[in-house]
């Protein structure tokens, strides 16, 4: 059997018990105001510490969870945990939670979000759900209906990895997003490639045209941050402002402090 296939099958089997055995956790990365006024939110990121393999990258185990149908259970757990954690934070801080395309299939998502908010005590306006373009490719009408129902709850939504897909522009016009997150692939070369700066400015302009908050992710240098601020970005996220960390370390982050290397 192919070694990669065997590994995926083994990880898929191990993932079934990872939640009950306490191997999964959430780490939080700050999202800061570009004007320097401090954190506005923390993004919840799922982490798996495997007893034999050690840290397993989300880029590896999330697709496995989606393929095996386990992502619904993991997604529900992550949402509940993030809302419970955030309910204890200062009232001005939001929590951002990623949703899988699989969670958008069917009618359960909106009710799940509503019940989770009620159970945690987190106000709906403090929850932000991040959605990739692949969600929008599934069923336009069904997805649009879900997004409108989430907005009716008071929950905000963000288009993640903006600019990496072919249809991002048309989606901005049709779908009710509150925020776009400029993909880090456009941030990485800021200051070194003029094309990257032009793309960022265009993305910011589009977001502003549709009344959306514009966030740039993957910010690692002061030079990148300065260019993004000048371009008009509202929020910034990246290692420059903090690496993902366990919830008990969130309170120790300085408002604009850099994470230790």
Q: Which CATH number belongs to the domain containing residue 68 in this structure?
A: 3.20.20.450
Going from the C-alpha of 196 to that of each of 157, 184, 203, 233, the distances in angstroms are 25, 11, 11, 14
Asked if residue 210 is part of any domain, the answer here is yes
pLDDT computed for residue 166 by the predictor: 58
Run of H or E residues at 90: none
Asked if residue 144 is part of any domain, the answer here is yes
Tokens 């999202």 identify what position? 31
Asked if residue 145 is part of any domain, the answer here is yes
pLDDT computed for residue 1 by the predictor: 57
pLDDT computed for residue 49 by the predictor: 95
Asked if residue 258 is part of any domain, the answer here is no
Tokens 């456009």 identify what position? 186
Asked if residue 255 is part of any domain, the answer here is no
Asked if residue 218 is part of any domain, the answer here is yes
Q: Give just the sign of the alpha carbon dihedral 204, 208, 209, 211.
A: positive
Tally of domains in the chain: 1
C-alpha 136/C-alpha 175 separation (Å) is 9
pLDDT computed for residue 231 by the predictor: 96
CA 152 to chain centre: 21
DSSP letter at 163 equals: T
Q: What is the end-to-end Cα distance of the chain in Å, rounded?
A: 40
Beta strands in 11-126 (DSSP E): 24-33, 39-50, 54-56, 94-98
Run of H or E residues at 180: strand 179-182
Predicted TM-score (pTM) of this structure: 0.91
Asked if residue 41 is part of any domain, the answer here is yes
- Domain range spanning residue 23? 3-250
C-alpha 145/C-alpha 140 separation (Å) is 9
Identify the segments of the chain with pLDDT beneath 50: 252-261
pLDDT computed for residue 258 by the predictor: 38
Name residue 157's beta-bridge partners.
Answer: 129
């Amino acid at each position: 059997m192919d070694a990669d296939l065997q590994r995926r099958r083994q990880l898929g089997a191990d993932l079934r018990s990872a939640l009950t055995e306490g191997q999964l956790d959430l780490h939080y990365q700050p999202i800061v105001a570009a004007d320097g006024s401090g954190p506005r939110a923390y993004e919840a990121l799922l982490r798996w510490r495997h007893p034999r393999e050690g840290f397993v990258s989300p880029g590896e185990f999330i697709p496995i969870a989606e393929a095996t149908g386990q992502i619904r259970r993991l997604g529900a757990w992550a949402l509940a945990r993030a809302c419970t954690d955030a309910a204890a934070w200062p009232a001005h801080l939001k929590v951002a939670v990623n949703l899988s395309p699989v969670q958008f299939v069917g009618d359960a998502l909106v009710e799940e979000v509503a019940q989770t908010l009620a159970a945690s005590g987190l106000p709906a306006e403090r929850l932000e759900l991040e959605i990739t373009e692949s969600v929008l490719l599934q069923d336009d009408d069904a997805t649009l209906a879900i997004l409108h129902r989430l907005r009716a709850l008071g929950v905000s939504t963000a288009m993640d990895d903006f600019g990496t897909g072919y249809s991002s522009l048309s989606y901005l016009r049709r779908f009710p997003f509150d925020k776009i997150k400029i993909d880090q692939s456009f941030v990485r070369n800021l200051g070194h490639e003029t094309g990257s700066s032009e793309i960022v400015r265009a993305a910011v302009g589009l977001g502003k045209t549709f009344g959306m908050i514009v966030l740039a992710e993957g910010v690692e240098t002061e030079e990148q941050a300065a260019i993004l601020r000048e371009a008009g970005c509202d929020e910034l996220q990246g290692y420059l402002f903090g690496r993902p960390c366990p919830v008990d370390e969130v309170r120790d982050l300085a408002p604009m402090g850099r994470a230790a290397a």
